[in-house]
């Protein structure tokens, strides 16, 4: 994840708000706009880590579109990038709900902030962090992780250097607050976002979102293999 500097998230929302509101699913629109400002400086053609193929407003990797049966080139248009970002966050939020059913409350700030933390640290690091912190309060997983990190600021997981995990955790709060200033905190449950015109996609196996079928992920393993073998 490359750092592109501070940018006014309100300007990002003003320019891309139509796409953001169309593809945000249950994610607050302002939060998504603030993330775009942070990830790419609001630049449609921003290139991040070349090893991951990070590209565009949401720094979507080349691998994510394949997991939903979409050509990675889709991420290279503004609309396609916003669509994929919204879809990835909604899927991630649903995966967290499935992984931690007694801790994640659907349609809460906690769920979406945890989804952002997964994007910033990776699911492996977040899983290890949850195991280390052992959150106990339902609907407060992110808050308990943040409190723990402030008490143990040099805690590291998955090879992150001391202090880096705390920075990533605190950045989630910063982006959430920025998003709340520029758009209503329209928090919802994870949803199956609409696809751009002429595009279809599926969901990972075992993930069901409102408006979707549990069978939508069946073809995705084959699609991913075809992409990586070609």
Q: How confident is the model at residue 103 (pLDDT cuts 50, 70, 90)?
A: very high
Helix (H) / strand (E) containing 3 = none
- State residue 7's pLDDT score: 58
Which burial class, exposed, middle or buried, applies to 141 when counting CB atoms under 10 A from its CB (0-12, 13-18, 19+)? Answer: buried
- pLDDT at 211 > cutoff 80: no
Q: Regarding predicted confidence, which is higher, 230 or 143? A: 143
**Domain residue extents for the chain:** 9-184+200-229
- pTM reported for the whole predicted model: 0.89
Count the neighbouring beta carbons within 10 Å of the beta carbon of residue 158.
14
Q: Give the separation between CA 140 and CA 163, rounded to whole angstroms.
A: 22
pLDDT digits (tens, 9 = 90+) for 152-207: 999 999 999 999 999 999 999 999 999 999 988 789 999 999 999 999 999 999 99
CATH code for the part of the protein at 9-184+200-229: 1.10.530.10
Q: Which two structure tokens, joined as six digits, stand for 212?
A: 């979707």
- pLDDT at 213 > cutoff 60: no
Q: How confident is the model at residue 8 (pLDDT cuts 50, 70, 90)?
A: confident
Q: How many residues does the chain have?
A: 230
Average pLDDT score over the chain: 90
Q: Which two structure tokens, joined as six digits, stand for 142?
A: 């992110």
């Amino acid at each position: 994840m490359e750092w592109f500097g501070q940018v006014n998230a309100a300007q990002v929302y003003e320019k891309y708000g139509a796409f953001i509101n169309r593809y945000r699913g249950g994610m607050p629109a302002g939060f998504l706009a603030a993330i775009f400002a942070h990830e790419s400086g609001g630049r449609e053609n921003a290139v991040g880590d070349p090893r991951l193929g990070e590209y565009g407003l949401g720094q979507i990797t080349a691998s994510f579109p394949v997991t939903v049966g979409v050509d990675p080139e889709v991420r290279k248009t503004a609309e396609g990038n916003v669509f994929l970002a919204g879809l990835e966050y909604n899927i991630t939020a649903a995966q967290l709900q499935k992984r931690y059913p007694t801790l994640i409350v659907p349609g809460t700030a906690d769920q979406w902030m945890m989804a952002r933390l997964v994007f910033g640290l990776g699911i492996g690091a977040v899983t290890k962090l949850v195991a280390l912190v052992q959150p106990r309060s339902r609907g407060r997983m992110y808050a308990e992780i943040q409190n723990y990190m402030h008490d143990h600021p040099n805690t590291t997981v998955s090879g992150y250097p001391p202090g880096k995990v705390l920075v990533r955790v605190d950045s989630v709060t910063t982006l959430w607050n920025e998003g709340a200033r520029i758009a209503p905190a329209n928090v919802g449950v994870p949803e199956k976002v609409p696809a751009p015109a002429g595009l279809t996609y599926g969901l990972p196996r075992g993930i069901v979102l409102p408006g979707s079928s549990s069978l939508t992920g069946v073809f995705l393993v084959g699609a991913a293999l075809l992409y990586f073998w070609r």
